[in-house]
Amino acid sequence: MIENPNKKRLRRSMMFLNAQKPSLIKDPYIYGADSLMLDLEDAVAATAKDTARFSLYHALRSIDYRGSERVVRINGLDTDLWEEDIRCVVAGGADVIRIPKTENADMVRAVEDKVLAAEEEFHREPGTTLLMSALESAKGVMNAYEICTASDRMIGVALSGGDYTKDLQTRITGTGVELMGARQQMIIAARAAGVQCFDTVWTNLDDMEGFRKDVETIHMMGFDGKSCINPRQIDVVHKIFTPTMKEIIFSEKVIREIDDKKAKGIGVFTVDGKMIDIAFYDGAKRNIMLAKAAGIYKGDL
Amino acid sequence: MLNAVGRDIPEEILKKTGKEVFQGSHHFDGHEFKKDGPKVRCVINQSGTKLLPSIREALEKCGIKDGMTLGFHHHFRNGDKVLNMVIEECHKMGIKDLRIAASSLGAQNDPIVPYIEDGTITEIQSSGVRGGIGKAISEGKLRGLAIMRSHGARVRAIETGETHIDIAFIGAPTADEYGNLNANGGKADCGVLSYSAVDAEMADRVVAVTDCLVPFPNLPAQITQTHVDYVVKVAEIGDPTKIATGAAKPTTDQRKLMMAQYCTDFVKNTPYFKEGFSYQTGVGGASIASTISLAEVMRERGIHMSFGVGGLTKPMCDLLDEGLVGCLVDTQDFDQDAIENMKTNPRHFYITAGEYADPFNKGAYVNKLDFVILAALEVDTHFNCNVVVGSDGYITGAQGGHPDTAAGAKCTIVIAPIMQGRIPTICTDCTTVTTPGEDVDVVITDYGIAINPKRSDLIEATKDSGLPFKTIEELRDIAYSITGEPEKVQFGDRVVGIIEARDGTIMDVVREIKPFSFRD
Amino acid sequence: MEIRKPAVAGTMESSDCQVSLEPGEGGIDFTLESVVAQQFGNEIRRVALETLSRLGVDSVKISIIDKGALDCTIRARVEGAVYRSLEQFKDLPWGGAIR
């Protein structure tokens, strides 16, 4: 099985789209989301589950999504739809499959088995299809770490706030207080497992200020990105996930210093007269990647 | 004969109309001509009245007969009732072969379609035609030719005498019994009467039609008693709910907002964006959004607009009220706020269509524009625009001030998504050319921005802006790669209309529609 | 493949098309109503016929009401209707007859 180079790509924004709606899947890349999540699950009416697959398959095969990652949310493992969904999605060549309502590692493995079988059936290199899990229940959140570590294909976990808060016997309040525990649990689990962590959607499109605050919160918590339901939200997310000029300049110095000293076999690093630790390196690399994605880094790193 | 935008204009049309082919937007600069004039029936005596009880009587007094030309304005937009009631009356009187010279026509005028079919109306001159009349013309039901000409070109045609109006009907929101007309107040408030000014001056007979008679003298008057022969009071000249809508909510469509942001970022990088610049924009979602986002930059940099031209909507009026704009010169109001602002802000001025856009006077406002932001149904790789003929081949839009402002402004920007449904907006050749590419400087799409190669100054000025520049051919190729390459619309042979350039030459012709049939 | 049952797939929304199938009488009876017929009518027909032929359907009445669908959507809707008619929702030939 190959080690997929896209596992750790940048995923600041993941925009949800109904795979059944041709007007939506035609050219959503225009809005610049890092990932597009084409939905076969909740957004698709029960009567259109079959036809949505054909739309999705041809969209995956024929539309050039111009660098946006193509994630597909399949139907739940409690339905009779998910296995054919996987065949369709793997044959279509999606980048990532999102497993809804994941509660434990066995569910991930069940999907993984089918994905592998489909990759063999459709002559795709085993390991090319990545996986991610949506955690939508208290049980799922409790099992975050085992889910994160269930498969080598795992890119990360995403919180699905609506269902999760129902399970908690509360609701989305707009304050984030009801999501605090899950967010904290998930980001810790994801980092412990070395995968990414994505936050839930913000559905009140009239409250863009609330949305901005929500994104700032999860950004500070260490999340990798936010799920979006409207293209208007993407820029807001990207701005918040863009490092400041000061951070970029510092990161650039860190990388140059460490690369340079390492090449010379020196183990002590200083930037602007201060000693720095090797632990700065990954963060600095990530900052440069974020700055590049935001189009504000013109350096040569 | 090929014209300057490469359109082959049939000889028989040149012969029939006595027109020349389009030879470039500035071909007639410096041209001298003697203005046409109206027949005036002078009123010396104090006795008698201008007030008449009905449209019928006005038609009779004006000596209506077969083959006459009637003038109308479209300030009541979708709510207009004047044109329909006049034509209805002509039909009842058995009048035939009328030529309508309207500033524009729309779906509100659908009731006159049967009078096209029965020969009451045989020629139409208008900025454009939407709705049933457009369909009727495209289907060949009009016996004569339809002429689509811009707002400026209409004034030119009338002043040169090319179109001589026998009777002009001017729907007036307020009028006194002696013919002083205004657009502020009354039941059918429309703000301005700009398009009618030339009718008032040049028509042999001028009939004011009002539903709000006010005491003499109705001052200030946009059209004065010296031009008006008769005044008719009717029950209703327009439906106020359709004349002007409430102010449109700023768009939340991210694609339009994105294009608006590109537009603002482009504008602010040009040398024209400086203290005292001038600006006009249309009423589309992206145009209005770009006004709003440009205002933010104006506030940030402390830059003021010296004057704004319209076609006005709330966002421009708000900028006037805020003091970011020196004054507004107004030829049409698209929403209630603009109509209101016309009354309340003394820096909001009425101007005539001639002052606005006529290429054959001693200088129109469009010549003083720095920027105009426009839309289009199609833009081709020569930067030619089409705003009149739809992708199905039917006449479905109006030139309005598109060619006038494009020719006048230093920087003409067209905002259009790269495709609408499956129709590529950016194409190899427009179905019909209405605005020549020589007057279009920049095309902004959701997939990138193309600058007309002849504007090397703009290319140079904006090269470090970080905007996604592409060639127009690249944009076309992107569009075709998504939609597929479109086949040309199948037309019949008969020419049903001509697209007139501002100067009266022929830009393009519109042919009769032909129902689609499969290739084999 | 034989179309024995009528079936419909797709919607009348913008950029979509609705494909209706009925049992044929030994040939393909094709009708199209499209907002972009002038530009893409021939192409829509070509894509629809090609899709039917790939699926091995040679006798059917097919009518398409098109609202500006791209080729990929036309294919998807034709396939959607055919497999609905056949009532086959599993083990579909992705990448085979469907492509």
Best probe of the A interface among C13, C15, C94, by most A CBs < 10 A, is C94
Q: Do C16 and A23 touch (CB under 8 A)?
A: yes
Does residue A132 contact residue A144 with C-beta atoms inside 8 Å?
no
Closest chain A residue to C81 measured between Cα atoms?
A51
Give the amino acid at B24.
G
Closest chain C residue to B482 measured between Cα atoms?
C70
Q: Round the CA-based radius of gyration of chain B to a whole number and report it.
A: 23
Domain count, chain C: 1
- Other beta carbons within 10 angstroms of residue A25's beta carbon come to 27
**CA C5 to centroid of chain Cα atoms:** 14
Touching partners of C (3+ C-beta pairs < 8 Å):
A, B
Give the amino acid at B7.
R
C10: helix, coil or strand? coil
What topology is assigned to B254-488 in CATH? Glutaconate Coenzyme A-transferase (3.40.1080)
Q: Rounded mean pLDDT of chain A?
A: 95
**Distance (Å) from the alpha carbon of A61 to chain B's nearest alpha carbon:** 13
Tokens of A301: 């790193």
Q: Do A54 and C69 touch (CB under 8 A)?
A: no
User: With pLDDT > 90 as the criterion, what percentage of chain A qualifies?
Assistant: 93
How many Å apart are CA A21 and CA A40, to the nearest integer?
A: 11
The parent domain of residue C57 ranges over 7-86
On chain C, the residues whose CB falls within 8 A of the CB of B478 are none
DSSP secondary structure code for residue B349 in this structure: E
The model's pLDDT over B91-107, given as tens digits with 9 standing for 90+, comes to 999 999 999 999 999 99
B283 compared with B90, residue with greater pLDDT: B90
Residue C1 in domain: no
A281's CB contacts (< 8 A; 6+ apart) are A254, A255, A258
A164: helix, coil or strand? helix
Residue B246 has pLDDT above 80, yes or no: no
Q: How many helices (H) and strands (E) does chain C have?
A: 2, 4
Residue B248 has pLDDT above 90, yes or no: no
Residue C91 in domain: no
The domain ranges of chain B are: 48-243, 254-488
Backbone dihedral angles phi then psi of residue A271, each to the nearest 5 degrees: -130, 130
Q: Do A231 and B446 touch (CB under 8 A)?
A: no
Nearest of B167, B173, B177, B175 to residue B200 by alpha carbon: B167
Interface B:C, Cβ pairs < 8 A: 50
Does residue B370 contact residue B104 with C-beta atoms inside 8 Å?
no
User: With pLDDT > 70 as the criterion, what percentage of chain B qualifies?
Assistant: 100
Whether A59 has its CB under 8 Å from any CB of chain C: the answer is: yes
B263: helix, coil or strand? helix
Q: In a structure prediction context, what are the per-residue pLDDT tens digits for chain C, which is 99 residues long?
A: 899 999 999 999 999 999 999 999 999 999 999 999 999 999 999 999 999 999 999 999 999 999 999 999 999 999 999 999 999 999 999 999 999
Best probe of the C interface among A54, A83, A86, by most C CBs < 10 A, is A54
| Residues found in chain A | 301
What is the Cβ-side half-sphere exposure of residue B325, based on CA atoms within 13 angstroms?
27
pLDDT of amino acid A1:
65
Percent helix, strand, coil in chain A (nearest 5)?
50, 15, 35
Give the amino acid at B128.
G
How many Å apart are CA B307 and CA B327, to the nearest integer?
A: 5
Kindly report each contact of residues A245-251 with a partner whose C-beta sits within 8 Å and lies 24 or more positions away, as own/partner: A245/A296, A247/A287, A248/A287, A248/A288, A248/A291, A248/A296, A248/A297, A250/A284, A251/A283, A251/A284, A251/A285, A251/A287, A251/A288, A251/A291
Q: Under an 8 Å CB criterion, which residues of C touch A?
A: 9-10, 13-16, 69-73, 75-77, 79-80, 83-84, 89-92, 94-95, 98-99
- As assigned by CATH, the class of the B48-243 domain is alpha beta
On chain C, the residues whose CB falls within 8 A of the CB of A83 are 90
Model confidence, pTM:
0.95
User: Is the confidence metric ipTM above 0.90 for this complex?
Assistant: yes
The model's pLDDT over B175-227, given as tens digits with 9 standing for 90+, comes to 999 999 999 899 999 999 999 999 999 999 999 999 999 999 999 999 999 99
Q: Which of C9, C80, C95 lies nearest to residue A91, judging by beta carbons?
A: C95
The domain ranges of chain A are: 13-240, 245-293
Domain containing residue C33: CATH number: 3.30.230.10
Q: Do A30 and B257 touch (CB under 8 A)?
A: no
Span A68-96, mean pLDDT? 98
pLDDT of amino acid B82:
98
Touching partners of A (3+ C-beta pairs < 8 Å):
B, C
The model's pLDDT over B404-453, given as tens digits with 9 standing for 90+, comes to 999 999 999 999 999 999 999 999 999 999 999 999 999 999 999 999 99
Residue whose entry in the numeric block shows the structure tokens 């040309």: B488
Tokens of C9: 């797939």
SS (HEC) of B169-203: EEEECEECCCCCEECCCCCCCCCCCHHHHHHHHHC
| Residues found in chain B | 520
Nearest of A146, A70, A141 to residue A108 by alpha carbon: A146
Nearest of C71, A13, A29 to residue B447 by alpha carbon: A29
Check whether domain A13-240 has CATH 2.60.40.1080, yes or no: no
pLDDT of amino acid A48:
97
DSSP secondary structure code for residue B438 in this structure: G
pLDDT of amino acid B520:
79
Cα distances (Å, whole numbers) of residue B93 to B142, B188, B423: 20, 27, 45
